[in-house]
């Protein structure tokens, strides 16, 4: 009989709560504990899933093989470092850290100790994104929009590390070419961090991308549109829906009293297999941790997404400083 993998979730707020739910349904997983200094949250989840609750993750390190780290981002580094040093595989919610050197050092520890360290970019496992990777070959232009209302719960990150990093990660994996130029504009509306940011990237292979992220918009929008030579591909993340427009033609028609414009194209709707992305993500993590499976996203690419996102923040800070000096 195969031994079950002992896991715990560290930080059981909104995201950690989802991880608990998924682990509790996995046949080869033994959910040992939920960890959260908030007794109310931790206690409620512990009694719902009939596991133990503790306030300090250091108490469970010798009882688990793998953990999810879903505490606030500013705590990821110390928690993941202690877990890895104790020989525990980790999946750390995105962004892995808010500091590049810290992220690099976590991957160094994992490499040295032969442990699996993944970053929780759940959007990678969205069925539509997986389909997109099969269709997108030589993108000329990519536009993404990720917008929604302000959530005062997120206190330790602005919109770049909270939302835009998802699209940066998808873009970098789709375009597979280094970013050579970046233009950034941003503003704060509800917090003292950036709430609305617009970025333009130029890639070495000539592709250009426009990425808009907002947490000040009274409608939840998550879309990506890709222009290729013969296709226009439109993805709606929320509905996991992909439309491909091809063979577009347009003409003006002169009728009796009016000039009409007509446009036609063939539109194909792609069937997207709708599995739970978080379940796929955690299954992949445990497969790598316990069966030595090959990771889908290389460590270099994990670090690249963070480096580009932090680069956007640096450019924004500089632009704001220059603006206040002007």
Tell me which of 5, 7, 8, 12 binds ligand NAD, using CB under 6 A: 12
Restricting to residues 149-178, which ones interact with ligand NAD according to CB under 6 A?
Answer: 153, 162
**Residue of 47, 45, 49 whose CA lies nearest to 29:** 49
Q: How far is the CB of 10 from ligand NAD (least distance, A)?
A: 5
The verdict on 128 binding ligand NAD (CB under 6 A) reads no
What is the end-to-end Cα distance of the chain in Å, rounded? 70
Restricting to residues 184-223, which ones interact with ligand NAD according to CB under 6 A?
Answer: none
Cβ(281)–Cβ(68) below 8 Å: no
Interaction mask 88-127, ligand NAD, x per CB under 6 A = -----xx-------------------------x-x-----
Please work out, in degrees rounded to the nearest 5, the angle formed at the alpha carbon of residue 13 by the alpha carbons of 7 and 18. Answer: 55
Task: Give, for 199, the enclosing helix (H) or strand (E).
Answer: strand 196-203
- CA 320 from chain centre, in angstroms, equals 26
What is the DSSP secondary-structure string of 211-279?
EEEESS-SS-EEEEEEE-SSEEEEEETTTTEEEEEEEEEEEEEE-SS-EEEEEEEEEEEEP-----HHH
Cβ(204)–Cβ(178) below 8 Å: yes
The verdict on 71 binding ligand NAD (CB under 6 A) reads yes
The verdict on 38 binding ligand NAD (CB under 6 A) reads yes
Tell me which of 26, 44, 61, 75 binds ligand NAD, using CB under 6 A: 75
Tell me which of 5, 19, 33, 57 binds ligand NAD, using CB under 6 A: 57
The verdict on 282 binding ligand NAD (CB under 6 A) reads no
Tell me which of 4, 6, 30, 72 binds ligand NAD, using CB under 6 A: 72
Residues lying near ligand NAD in the complex (CB under 6 A) are found at 10-16, 35-38, 41, 57, 70-73, 75, 93-94, 120, 122, 153, 162
């Amino acid at each position: 009989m195969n031994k079950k993998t002992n896991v715990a979730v560290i930080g059981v707020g909104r995201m950690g709560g989802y991880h608990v739910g998924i682990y509790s349904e996995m046949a080869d997983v033994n959910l040992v504990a939920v960890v959260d200094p908030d007794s109310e949250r931790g206690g409620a989840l512990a009694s719902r899933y009939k596991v133990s609750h503790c306030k300090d993750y250091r108490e469970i390190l010798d009882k688990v093989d793998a953990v999810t780290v879903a505490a606030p981002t500013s705590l990821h580094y110390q928690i993941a470092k202690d877990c890895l040093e104790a020989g525990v595989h980790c999946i750390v919610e995105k962004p892995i850290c808010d500091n590049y050197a810290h992220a690099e050092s976590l991957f160094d520890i994992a490499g040295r100790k032969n442990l699996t360290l993944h970053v929780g970019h759940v959007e990678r496992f969205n069925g539509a994104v997986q389909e997109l990777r099969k269709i997108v070959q030589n993108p000329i232009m990519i536009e993404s929009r990720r917008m929604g209302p302000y959530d005062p719960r997120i206190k330790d990150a602005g919109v770049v590390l909270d939302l835009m990093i998802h699209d940066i990660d998808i873009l970098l994996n789709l375009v597979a070419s280094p970013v050579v130029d970046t233009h950034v504009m941003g503003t704060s509306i509800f917090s003292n961090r950036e709430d609305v940011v617009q970025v333009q990237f130029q890639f070495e292979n000539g592709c250009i991308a426009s990425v808009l992220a907002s947490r000040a918009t009274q409608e939840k929008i998550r879309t990506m549109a890709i222009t290729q030579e013969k296709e226009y591909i439109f993805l709606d993340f929320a509905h996991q829906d992909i439309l491909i427009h091809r063979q577009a033609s347009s003409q003006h028609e002169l009728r009796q009293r009016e000039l009409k414009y007509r446009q036609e194209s063939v539109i194909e709707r792609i069937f997207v297999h709708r599995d739970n992305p978080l379940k796929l993500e955690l299954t992949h993590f445990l497969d790598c941790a316990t069966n030595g499976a090959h990771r889908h996203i290389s460590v270099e690419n994990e670090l690249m997404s963070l480096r580009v996102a932090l680069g956007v923040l640096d450019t924004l800070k500089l632009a704001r400083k220059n603006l206040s000096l002007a």
